[in-house]
Amino acid sequence: MGETTGTTHQIALAVDDDPSMRLMLRKTLERTGLEVHEAGNGQLALDRFQELHPDIVLLDISMPVMDGFRACTEMRRLENDRQTPIVMVTGADDHDSIRRAYEVGATDFITKPINWRILSHRVRYMLRASQTMRQLRESEMRNRAILEAMPDIMFRIAADGTILDFRPGQASALDLKTSRPVGRTVSEVLSGTTGTLMENHLRRALRANGIQQYDFEVKSALEERVYESRLVASGRDEVFAIVRDVTDTKRAEERMRQLAYFDEMTGLPNRQFFKEQLEQSIAQARRYKRQMALLFVDLDRFKRINDTLGHNIGDLLLKRVAHQISHSVRESDVVGRAGVEELGQIARLGGDEFTVVLSEIKSPEEAAQVARRIQESLVQPMKVGGYEIVITPSIGVAIYPDHGEDLNTLLKNADVAMYYAKGEGRNNYQFYTPAMNERAFDRLTLENALRRALDNNELFIHYQPQVNLESGEMVGVEALARWQHPERGLLSAGNFIPLAEETGQVILIGEWVLRRACEQHCEWLQAGLPPLRMAVNLSGLQFRQEGLLFLLRDVIEKTGIDPAYLELEVTESILMQNTEQARERVQELKDLGVTLAVDDFGTGYSSLSYLKNFPVKTLKIDQSFIRNVAEDADSMAITDAIIAMAHSLGMRVIAEGVEKDEQLNYLRRQNCDEVQGFLFSRPVAPEVIDEHLRRQAEGVLLPDQPLLAAAE
Ligand SMILES: Nc1nc2c(ncn2[C@@H]2O[C@@H]3COP(=O)(O)O[C@H]4[C@@H](O)[C@H](n5cnc6c(=O)[nH]c(N)nc65)O[C@@H]4COP(=O)(O)O[C@H]3[C@H]2O)c(=O)[nH]1
C-alpha cells in the first residue's frame, strides 16, 4: 500500500487493453512522481489490485476477459472500505457508461480522447482528496473509539435546547425523565434546576469561545451524586456537552480534605485548620479593629483516665467532651443574641487540648462567659463505656490585641494562662497576664534542672518520725524527698514532686528514694539500732507501672530489708481509680510482704466500706482535718468517724500534721494509734533520727526532745 502522506511512492494502476494507451498513461503519471503498474484486462487488473493495493486506478471500460464495470465492482468488493479512487475512462458523450461507472462505485471518470496535459493535475487532485478523505475517516474512527471508551454522558444540543444526539454513558444515575431524549429539549429531559443550569451554560458556550464547565448534584431517594458538565460550541448553533459522574472523585477529595483539616476522632477542625482559621480571624479583627478571644481548654487529669481506664474509654470521653464544648459554644443566649448561631470555632489540637476562637467579642467578659459555659457543660458526670466520669477543664484565655497580635503569641499566651489555671487548682479559667510568662519560664527551668538533679546528686531524703501514742516511741519514719537546688536552695517535695509527676520524672526519682530509704533502714540496723518502719511514698505513675514488683523485689534483695518494715504510701484517689486493677496490685504488694498505707485519707472518695476490699494496713488522716481538729466540730466528727471505722476494719490510724498539743490530746482521747507532725519533729536528716533512736533507747521520748533544732 502506498504512503498516506505525500505523493512519493504512491502507486497507480493503469488498466487498458491498448498497450499504447497504457504507455501514454505510464509516461504521464510517472512524471507526477507515481509508481505505475499496468494491466491489460479486468481480470489481470484485479490480480494486481489485490497484490499492490494501489493508491489510484485508471480503468478502461471496454476490455477483453473482464470489462471495466465488472472489474470496478470486484475491486470495491475486495478493498474493504479503503475507498481507493477508481477513475473510469469513458467515451466523451457516452452518458450511459458514465452513469454505470458511478453505479459500480467509480470515483470519477475521464473522457477519451484524454487531455494528457491536465490528466496529471486531475490525478494529483484526486489522490489528495482521497488522502484527505481517508484521514477524515480515520480520525472519525478514532473519535468514535474514544467516545465509545468514555463512560461519560454526551449530548449534542441545538441552540434552542433541542437534543440532537445523545450517548447515555451512566445516564441512569443522572435521572433522565425519558430514555429517548433525542428531539426533546434539555429542560424536558433533565429535572428542574439541572435543566435550567444546562440551558444557561448552553447560551454562554455559544456566546463565548471556550469551554463552559460547572458541577451539579442529583439527589435520588437512595443517594446523592455529583456531576461535572463541560459544554463547548461544536458549530455555529450547536453545543457538545459531556457530563461526567465525579461523585467518587469528589468524595475522595472531601475525604482528603477531611483528613488534612479535621480530627478523625471528634470531627472537629485539627491544628492545621485551627491555625488557618485563627489567622483569618486575626486578619479580620485587625481590619475591623475588633477584639477577639482565644480559649485554650485542657482537661484535668485526662492522662490518668486514659492510663487507668484505657484508651478506648479515653477516646469516647474525648468525643463526648468535644460534643459538650461545641454545644456550649453554640448556645446563643451566652451573649444575648437571638437565634442559635455559632459563636466560636472549636478545634482539637491533639490529646486533650481543645481551642475555641471567638472571632468577635465586645468585651473580654464575653470570653469569660463562654469559659464558664464550657465548665458548666462538663461538670455533669458523663456515662462513658459503663463508667461514670467527672472531668473538669482548665481554660486559658488570651484576647486579641491585648495579649498578642499574632497567632503564635496568642496561642502561647492562652497556653500559659491554661497552665496557670491548672496551677490554681484546676477546673477554672484564667485570663493571660504578662506575669504568667515568668511563671511558665520558671516552671520550664525547674523542669530542666530537675532532669539533672539526680545525676548531680542534688536529691536527698529527710525522714519524719511517726510516733506511737501509747508508748510515745518513734516506731517509724516517712521518707520525704528533698532537693538542694543550686540556686534556690533547699526545696521540699511539695515544690517539685507535682512537677515530676506531670513530666514522668517521678518514676526515676521514686525509684531512687525507695532504694536509698531501704538502704538507710538497713544502715541503722547495722549500726545496732532497733528496726524502724520505713514509709515511702508511691506516686500513681509508679503504682501502676508494669515494673513495680520487679523493682521492689530487686530493692528488697539488694538492700536486704525485711519487707515487713517497708510501708508504701499511696493516696486514696490512686486506689479508687480502676479499682479492680488497683485491688490486684495491692494484693501483689501484700504477697511480697510489704505493707500499704492510704495517704491523705479524707480528701477524696473517703469510702471506708470500699477500702475494706483492699488488704491495707494503715490509714493516714489528712492534715487538713487534724489542723482544725481541736476547734472545728466537723473536723472532729470526721476524724472520730475515720478512727472508729478504721479500727473496726483492723487498720492502724496515723494522724498527719500534728502541730499542737490540743490536737495531740484530742487524738489521744480518740485512741488514734500514731501521729506525725511538727509537734514531734519536722522531716530531718538521717543522723538526727540516728541520734534520737539512741536517746530513745535511754528512755527519752519525743516531743520532750523535739528535733526541731536540727530540722530543715
Ligand atoms: N504543715 C505541716 N506540714 C507537715 C507537718 N508534718 C509533715 N508535714 C509535711 O506534710 C507532707 C507529708 O507528706 P505527704 O502527705 O505524704 O505528702 C508528700 C508526698 O505525697 C509527696 N512526696 C514526698 N516525697 C516523695 C517521694 O519520694 N515520692 C513521691 N512519689 N512523693 C513524695 O510530696 C508531698 C509533700 O511532701 P513535703 O513537702 O515533704 O511535705 C510533707 C511534710 O513535710 C506538719 O505538722 N505541718
- Tell me: do 624 and 652 sit in the same domain: yes
Task: Find the 486 Cα to ligand 1 centroid distance in Å.
Answer: 22
Atom of ligand 1 nearest to the CA of 683: 43
Atom of ligand 1 nearest to the CA of 481: 24
What are the pLDDT digits (tens) for 516-538? 999 999 999 999 999 999 999 99
Residue type, 445: T
Q: Is the CB of 494 under 6 A from ligand 1?
A: yes
What are the pLDDT digits (tens) for 130-155? 889 889 988 988 988 887 788 888 89
Q: Is the CB of 540 under 6 A from ligand 1?
A: no
Residue 385 lies in a domain: yes
As a three-state string, the secondary structure of 587-602 is: HHHHHHCCEEEEEEEC
Q: For the chain, how far is it from start to end, CA to CA, in angstroms?
A: 111
Residue 461 has pLDDT above 70, yes or no: yes
Residue 257 lies in a domain: no
What are the pLDDT digits (tens) for 667-698? 999 999 999 999 999 999 999 999 999 888 88
Task: Find the 362 Cα to ligand 1 centroid distance in Å.
Answer: 47
- Tell me: do 70 and 172 sit in the same domain: no
Q: Is the CB of 599 under 6 A from ligand 1?
A: yes
Q: Which amino acid residue places its CA nearest to atom 27 of ligand 1?
A: 481
- Tell me: do 348 and 411 sit in the same domain: yes
- Tell me: do 350 and 488 sit in the same domain: no
Which stretch of DSSP H or E encloses residue 461? strand 459-468
Residue 626 lies in a domain: yes
Average pLDDT over residues 317-322: 94
Q: Which amino acid residue places its CA nearest to atom 39 of ligand 1?
A: 493
Residue 642 has pLDDT above 60, yes or no: yes
Task: Find the 494 Cα to ligand 1 centroid distance in Å.
Answer: 6
Q: Is the CB of 465 under 6 A from ligand 1?
A: no
Q: Is the CB of 163 under 6 A from ligand 1?
A: no
- Tell me: do 127 and 156 sit in the same domain: no
CATH number at residue 332: 3.30.70.270
CA distance 370 to 363: 12
What are the pLDDT digits (tens) for 532-570? 999 999 999 899 888 999 999 999 999 999 999 999 999
pLDDT band at residue 171 under the 50/70/90 scheme: low
- Tell me: do 193 and 307 sit in the same domain: no
Residue 178 has pLDDT above 90, yes or no: no
Residue 709 lies in a domain: no
Contact, 9 vs 33, CB < 8 A? no
Q: Which amino acid residue places its CA nearest to atom 20 of ligand 1?
A: 537
Residue 440 lies in a domain: no
Residue 324 has pLDDT above 60, yes or no: yes
Residue 442 lies in a domain: no
139 class by beta-carbon count within 10 Å (0-12 exposed, 13-18 middle, 19+ buried): exposed
Average pLDDT over residues 153-179: 83
* Residues 6 or more apart whose Cβ sits within 8 Å of residue 331: 340, 343, 373
CA distance 355 to 295: 5
Give me 654's grid cell. Answer: 496515723
- Tell me: do 340 and 225 sit in the same domain: no
Contact, 370 vs 358, CB < 8 A? yes
Give me 186's grid cell. Answer: 434539555
CATH number at residue 513: 3.20.20.450
Residue type, 641: A
Domain boundary among 201, 229, 250: 250
Supply angle C-alpha 350, 355, 357, rounded to 5. 145
CA distance 279 to 348: 16
Residue 670 lies in a domain: yes
Strands (E), 572-666: 595-601, 618-621, 652-655
Strand 459-468 relative to strand 489-492, pairing = unpaired
Which stretch of DSSP H or E encloses residue 506? helix 506-526
Contact, 46 vs 22, CB < 8 A? no
Arithmetic mean of pLDDT over the chain: 87
**184 phi and psi, to 5 degrees?**
-100, 170
Atom of ligand 1 nearest to the CA of 464: 7
What are the pLDDT digits (tens) for 483-511? 999 888 999 999 999 889 888 889 999 99
Residue 5 has pLDDT above 50, yes or no: no
- Tell me: do 414 and 321 sit in the same domain: yes
The number of C-alpha atoms within 13 Å of 404 and in the hemisphere containing its C-beta is: 25
Task: Find the 391 Cα to ligand 1 centroid distance in Å.
Answer: 26
Q: Is the CB of 513 under 6 A from ligand 1?
A: yes
CA distance 649 to 645: 6
* Residues 6 or more apart whose Cβ sits within 8 Å of residue 168: 153
Full residue range of the structural domain in which residue 160 is found:
150-250
3-state secondary structure of 358: strand
Q: Which residues pair with 269 in a beta bridge?
A: 262
Candidates 495, 497, 544, 545: which one to mutate for ligand 1, based on the most atoms within 8 Å of Cβ?
497
Residue 336 has pLDDT above 60, yes or no: no
CATH number at residue 222: 3.30.450.20
Which of 421-430, 545-554, 581-590 bottoms out in mean pLDDT, i.e. has the lowest? 421-430
CA distance 430 to 277: 23
CA distance 57 to 37: 10
Domain boundary among 121, 146, 171: 146
Give the global pTM. Answer: 0.52
- Tell me: do 238 and 102 sit in the same domain: no
> Would you state the pLDDT for residue 527?
94
pLDDT band at residue 385 under the 50/70/90 scheme: confident
CATH number at residue 80: 3.40.50.2300
- Tell me: do 132 and 185 sit in the same domain: no
Average pLDDT over residues 607-622: 82
Exposure string for 233-258, b = 16+ CB within 10 A, e = fewer: beeeebbbbbbbbbbeebeeeeeeee
> Cα–Cα distances in Å, from 534 out to 87, 252, 481, 509, 531?
121, 64, 13, 17, 9
Task: Find the 480 Cα to ligand 1 centroid distance in Å.
Answer: 6
CA distance 540 to 546: 12
Which stretch of DSSP H or E encloses residue 25? helix 19-31
Q: How many domains does the chain have?
A: 4
- Tell me: do 162 and 141 sit in the same domain: no
- Tell me: do 595 and 641 sit in the same domain: yes
**Percentage, residues of the chain above pLDDT 90:** 51
> Would you state the pLDDT for residue 152?
86
Task: Find the 515 Cα to ligand 1 centroid distance in Å.
Answer: 18
What ipTM describes this predicted complex? 0.97
Residue 710 lies in a domain: no
Average pLDDT over residues 251-279: 89
Give me 108's grid cell. Answer: 470519477
Q: Is the CB of 464 under 6 A from ligand 1?
A: yes
Residue 423 has pLDDT above 80, yes or no: no
Domain boundary among 217, 250, 283: 250
